[in-house]
Each structure stands twice: as C-alpha cells, then as structure tokens.
Amino acid sequence: MLTPDQQFWWNWWVSLAVAAGTLLAVVVAIFGEKLRAKFFPPRLSLRFICPEGEGTTLTRKDSGEVADDVRYYHLRVSNERRWSAAREVQVFLTRVEEPGPNGDLHVVWAGEVPIRWRDQEVVPLLRTIGADADCDLCRVGRNTGLSLMPLISPNNLNAHHQGSCRLVASLQARSNETDSEVARIEISWDGSWEHGDMEMKRHLAVRPLAPERSN
C-alpha cells in the first residue's frame, strides 16, 4: 500500500505523462506535416513501364465513332516514402533530342511543359503522390503517327511524327517538396503498325537511357 507521499508522487508523474502526451499530440497535429517534410521528405522517382504499351482505340468526341487504333506508352511516378506525401506533383517534358546528319543526338527543343496524366480527363492536374501514379509518355496510331503527350505543345516543339523517327525525351516529376531525377527515354519507330503486343515491339521500341552526368 502506498504512503501519502508515494501516492502524491505517483499521481504527479502520471499527470506529467498525460500532459506531455497531450502536448506531443498537439505539436504533431499542428507541425507534424512540416516536421515530416523537413526531416523525412518524399522521394520521387520516374520510370518507364510496360515496353508493349497499351492498345486501345480513339473515338471522335462528337459522334463516338472509332477514329484510330492506337497504343499508349506510360511512365510511373513513385514515392519511396509513401507515408510522406509529395504534393502538387506534375511531370514535365524538359528536352527533346533527335539525331543529326551524322547520327549523333542533338537537342532540338528545351523548355518546361507538363505532360498528361493517365486518364487526365478525370484526375486532377496537380496530384498528391503517396501511391504510384502513371502519366502518358507517347501514343502511336495506325493512321495518326507518333505523338508525345504534353498538355500544351509550344510552336517550337515538334511533338508529332507521321513516319519513322528516333528521339530522346527528358522528363522530370516535380512537387512542392522535392523533384525526381531526370529520366531520359529513347523512342524509336520504323513507321509501321501492327495490332499485337509482340508484333508492335518489332516496330516501336521505348527504353530508358542512363541520365547524363554533369561535368
């Protein structure tokens, strides 16, 4: 049985622990996100997925008729710290390279334009990334050729190719808290179309390249 003095100190320590817990809960509620973003920021990565692409059809918005057979190729934005969300994320096309007369790659466009999220019509323009999210890299169609997928296409950006082509697109996912490394993706197309996944891989190849290292 506790003496009065022991009872006093026992109650004092219990009250102190309750008060400290309450104070900690208030601090976490008020400053938790800021502290997490400062000490454990999100880690964004951007990578190419599914070399076969995804076959579907385009339809005319006014009539619902099939306009073209197409195949989409996607990039995936991932956050290695899903519990520390990256906010207001967009993926930007920052550079396009194409081969010159000698076959070496040359920068033909540089800038910053956002590209489409997958199913952009039904998702926000700016995403919060905890779980993975996909965006459109390019689309190739039986009749419509190959197109990169920026939300807007500046006059000096050649985003569409009707025949065979080779290009390297540089892209980066950016958020309020952090940015991903720049992803360089090579797209090579011989201008031909086939329906099947494996058949189309013989005509169009998409592959990641090693990022360029600054000197």
pLDDT digits (tens, 9 = 90+) for 82-118: 999 999 999 999 999 999 989 899 999 999 999 999 9
Residue 201 lies in a domain: yes
Residue 57, C-beta contacts closer than 8 angstroms, at least 6 positions apart: 66, 67, 68, 69, 70
**How many residues belong to the chain?**
215
Q: What is the span of the domain harbouring residue 55? A: 41-209
How far apart, in whole angstroms, are the C-alpha atoms of residue 140 and residue 146? 4
Total tally of structural domains belonging to the chain: 2
Are residues 3 and 108 both part of a single domain?
Answer: no
Half-sphere exposure of 104 (CA within 13 A, CB side): 2
Let me know whether 116 and 102 are in one domain. yes
Provide the pLDDT confidence category of residue 215 given band limits of 50, 70 and 90.
very low
* Same-domain pairing of 143 and 120: yes
Whether residues 167 and 100 fall in one domain = yes
Residue 170, token pair as written in the block = 């540089």
Nearest CA to 137 out of 189, 200, 71 is that of 71
Longest dimension (CA), the chain: 94
Q: Are residues 48 and 153 in the same domain?
A: yes
Question: Does residue 188 sit in the same domain as residue 153?
Answer: yes
Mean pLDDT of the region 150-161: 94
Specify the pTM: 0.80
Residues 35 and 128 in one domain: no
